[in-house]
C-alpha cells in the first residue's frame, strides 16, 4: 500500500505536518504522535478525535460505511489447523486494511471475522461513496487472489468468500465510537450496511440505492434487486457492483 510521509488528516484539516515516518518522525513519536492503527496514514491525534472527543460532543457527519466479512469460515476452520486459520484471518485483515487505507478510509472495529470501515472522516472526500465502492471492489479482487493461493495450499476447493455491504448517510461519530464497545449502540446507517453485507453473496459488493445514486455513472446498467434483510420490514433495493465472473 501507499504510505504517506505526513498525517493526511492533520494536513488536510489543520495544515499541520505531523511526520509519521523517517528520521523527522522522532520528535513526534516522543510526544506520542504515531501512525494510527485505524489507518497508518493518519496519526494518533486523528484517532483520538474519532474515539474520544466526539464521544463527549456528538457530531453528525455524512459518511459511507463499508462492512466486509469472511464466508465459509466455519467450514474452513474444520479443514485447517488453528495456526493456518490464524494466518488466514490475519491475511484477510491485511487485505482489507490495504484496500481501505489506499482509499483513505479508516477501520473502526474488527468484529470476529468482520471489518467495519468509515469513509469521509477524518479525511474528507467529496466522493466518499465512490471511494468506498472502489475499496470494496479492490478488496474482493485481493481476496480472490488469496483464495487462489489457499486452494493451492489445501489442494482442493476452499469454501472461502467475502461479502461486502455499503451504505451512505449521516452518521453520528459518538455513535460509531460507542460501537467499539457496545454492539447495540449501532446507528441506522451502520446497521443497514451491516445487514446488507449479510445479504451479499460471496464475491459481491452490495450497495444501497443511496450509494448507487451517487456512483451509478461509473456502473451503468446495473440491475437492482430486492433483498429481504433482517430488522427491515420492507425489502431493501440493492445493487451488486463490479462483480467479475470467475
Ligand atoms: Zn493526524
76-109 tens-digit pLDDT:
778 778 888 888 888 888 889 999 999 999 987 6
Closest CA to 172 of 38, 14, 13, 56: 56
| pLDDT tens-place string over residues 186-219 | 578 888 998 999 999 999 999 999 999 999 999 9
* CA of residue 166 to ligand 1 center, whole Å: 26
* Residue 20 confidence (pLDDT) above 90: yes
* CA of residue 164 to ligand 1 center, whole Å: 28
Mean pLDDT of the chain: 84
User: Model confidence at 8, in pLDDT bands (50, 70, 90)?
Assistant: very high
Residues 6 or more apart whose Cβ sits within 8 Å of residue 177 = 50, 51, 52, 54, 55
* Residue 182 to residue 221: CA distance in whole angstroms: 39
> CB–CB of 208/188 below 8 Å?
no
* CA of residue 10 to ligand 1 center, whole Å: 4
pTM: 0.84
* CA of residue 34 to ligand 1 center, whole Å: 9
* CA of residue 51 to ligand 1 center, whole Å: 13
Q: What is the pLDDT of residue 52?
A: 62
* CA of residue 93 to ligand 1 center, whole Å: 22
* CA of residue 3 to ligand 1 center, whole Å: 14
| pLDDT tens-place string over residues 24-77 | 999 999 989 999 988 999 999 888 776 665 555 666 789 999 999 888 777 777
| pLDDT tens-place string over residues 142-159 | 988 888 887 777 676 667
User: Model confidence at 246, in pLDDT bands (50, 70, 90)?
Assistant: very low
- Helix (H) / strand (E) containing 66: strand 60-71
Amino acid at each position: 500500500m501507499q504510505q504517506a510521509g505526513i498525517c493526511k488528516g492533520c494536513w488536510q484539516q489543520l495544515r499541520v505536518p505531523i511526520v509519521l515516518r523517517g528520521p523527522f518522525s522522532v520528535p513526534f513519536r516522543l510526544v506520542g504522535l504515531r501512525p494510527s492503527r485505524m489507518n497508518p496514514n493518519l496519526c494518533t491525534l486523528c484517532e483520538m478525535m474519532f474515539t474520544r472527543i466526539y464521544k463527549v460532543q456528538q457530531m453528525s457527519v455524512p459518511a459511507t460505511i463499508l462492512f466486509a466479512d469472511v464466508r465459509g469460515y466455519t467450514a474452513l476452520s474444520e479443514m485447517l489447523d488453528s495456526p493456518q486459520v490464524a494466518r488466514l484471518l490475519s491475511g484477510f485483515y491485511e487485505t482489507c486494511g490495504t484496500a481501505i487505507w489506499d482509499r483513505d478510509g479508516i477501520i473502526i472495529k474488527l468484529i470476529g471475522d468482520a471489518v467495519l470501515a468509515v469513509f469521509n472522516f477524518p479525511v474528507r472526500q467529496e466522493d466518499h461513496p465512490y471511494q468506498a465502492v472502489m475499496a470494496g471492489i479492490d478488496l474482493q479482487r485481493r481476496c480472490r487472489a488469496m483464495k487462489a493461493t489457499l486452494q493451492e495450499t489445501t489442494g482442493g476447493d476452499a469454501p472461502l468468500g467475502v461479502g461486502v455491504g455499503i451504505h451512505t448517510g449521516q452518521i453520528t461519530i459518538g455513535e460509531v465510537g460507542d460501537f467499539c464497545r457496545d454492539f447495540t449502540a449501532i446507528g441506522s446507517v451502520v446497521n443497514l450496511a451491516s445487514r446488507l453485507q449479510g445479504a451479499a453473496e460471496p464475491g459481491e459488493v452490495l450497495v444501497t440505492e443511496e450509494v448507487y445514486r451517487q456512483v451509478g455513472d461509473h456502473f451503468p446498467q446495473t440491475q437492482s434487486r430486492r433483498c429481504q434483510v433482517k430488522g427491515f420490514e420492507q425489502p431493501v433495493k440493492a445493487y451488486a457492483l463490479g462483480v467479475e465472473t470467475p
